[in-house]
Amino acid sequence: MNYNKKSIEDIEVAGKRVLCRCDFNVPTKDGKITSDKRIVAAMPTIEYLVNKGAKVILCSHMGKPKGEWKPELSLQVVAKRISELLGKEVVMATDVAGEDSKAKAAALRDGDVMLLENTRYIKGETKNDPELSKALADLADIFVNDAFGTAHRAHSSTAGVADYLPAVSGYLVQKEVSIMGKALANPERPFVAILGGAKVSDKLNVINNLLEKVDTLIIGGGMAYTFLAAQGYSVGKSLVDNEKLDYCKEMLAKAEAKGVKLLLPADTAIAPAFPDPIDGEISVDYVDCTAIPADQMGLDIGPKACAAFAAAAKAAKTVVWNGPMGVFENPTLAKGTIAVAQALADSDAVTIVGGGDSAAACEQLGFANAITHISTGGGASLEFLEGLELPGIACLQDK
């Protein structure tokens, strides 16, 4: 995939109607936004378009209405918040690409901003329906994709509309593509990848793809116990993906053949059972991963593993991290994840954190400013690491 894509700065937007796909899928409670992080992240692109005199037509999905008009998933609260941040009114359309949207888009003056209703109110959105794509394109002269979180989806508002309009990236997508694209295509070495999370099956293709690119692959989280079991160790009651034991053996052999260092945890935090509730009090012991008792389960990496993983990150020039090292939601079992986040924050390397739990960990711990790049898309960043072509990126014009 070509990562060298045109951005809003490579195209003339003054006086043009610009359809800008953002990620306004924000959490709400009782009709109020509980975190406006995604809206704030989209503001540099919106402000650039406004300041350049574009007629800005914003669109996004929220939640999973599945083609039904659900008032609790209306983007009206988003329009209100953007208005506050911009210091000017954002006109709210009552439909997605219908008569109201057309009328309001036609009435826009240079520098005006409007927001369409939730794109997933229309059934054709997730099916990439050409009729909806064409109707959205008819509202505008240019398409800007600034929603990396949905770039792995071929939907009408993320990819289909680019069949009818010149398409470029906004600042958020540009940053994701340039930093993550360079890390995968031409990384500064040593290149270290750290993978965590529960199941091997969630990251099959990521592991396989990264073994082609990295110097060291570190595996923690629940996945590690399947790899340890594949090496013949007894892992007690730890999470094991029995159907993936042969795959793990193949990956261990592949790493050896390619001269890639594959690091598994040396020790682990153990307890008799998974914490219930997940954040409840729990008492743990630490043992070597080669000596997990039959009645215990591994729930986090231990201090030896923390030190080894941190040392590998410190020696690297590029580090990519996706997935927690243990049951991060529990304070006792978050130590491994915290140690990795701290190691990345202390590193002089280019550090990239995939979305989801790893990103949340860095933000909660106050390390976000010390990380080169925290991805805004969980699923999209995983598919990026798999080496897959993302429809919402592939549709943009090459430089």
Determine the pLDDT at residue 388.
85
Is 187-386 in the same CATH topology as 8-172? yes
pLDDT at 202 > cutoff 90: no
* Catalytic residue annotation: 38, 199, 356, 379
- The Cβ-side half-sphere exposure at 34, using a 13 Å CA radius, reads 5
Least confident piece of the model among 78-92, 244-258, 262-276, 342-356 = 342-356
Determine the pLDDT at residue 360.
85
Say what the pTM is: 0.88
Q: How far is CA 209 from the centre of its chain?
A: 18
Per domain, the residue ranges of the chain are 8-172, 187-386
Q: How far is CA 142 from the centre of its chain?
A: 25
pLDDT at 196 > cutoff 80: yes
Cα 192 to Cα 286: distance, rounded to the nearest angstrom: 26
pLDDT over 90, % of the chain: 86
pLDDT at 91 > cutoff 80: yes
In degrees rounded to 5, what are phi and psi of residue 153? -105, 130
Mean pLDDT, rounded, of the chain: 95
Torsion angle in degrees (nearest 10) through CA of 375, 63, 200, 389:
-60
Average pLDDT over residues 155-175: 97
Least confident piece of the model among 126-140, 286-300, 348-362 = 348-362
Determine the pLDDT at residue 95.
98
Domain boundaries 8-172, CATH class: alpha beta
pLDDT: is 342 or 202 the higher one?
342
Mapped onto helix, strand or coil, the DSSP state of residue 22 is: coil
pLDDT at 275 > cutoff 90: yes
Average pLDDT over residues 101-119: 98
Is-cis flag, bond preceding 190, omega within 30?
yes
pLDDT: is 160 or 363 the higher one?
160
pLDDT at 331 > cutoff 70: yes
Residues sharing a CB contact under 8 Å with residue 276, sequence separation 6 or more, in sequence order: none
Residue type, 9: E
pLDDT band of 355, cuts 50, 70, 90: low
> Exposed/middle/buried for 139, CB within 10 Å: 0-12, 13-18, 19+?
buried
Token pair, residue 85, equals: 């941040």
Q: 205-245 pLDDT, tens per residue?
A: 899 999 999 999 999 999 999 999 999 999 999 999 999 99
Residues sharing a CB contact under 8 Å with residue 59, sequence separation 6 or more, in sequence order: 19, 20, 21, 22, 96, 115, 116, 119, 136, 157
Residues sharing a CB contact under 8 Å with residue 371, sequence separation 6 or more, in sequence order: 344, 345, 351, 352, 353, 362
Token pair, residue 384, equals: 């990026």
pLDDT at 364 > cutoff 90: no
Q: 238-267 pLDDT, tens per residue?
A: 999 999 999 999 999 999 999 999 999 999
Fold of 187-386: Rossmann fold (3.40.50)
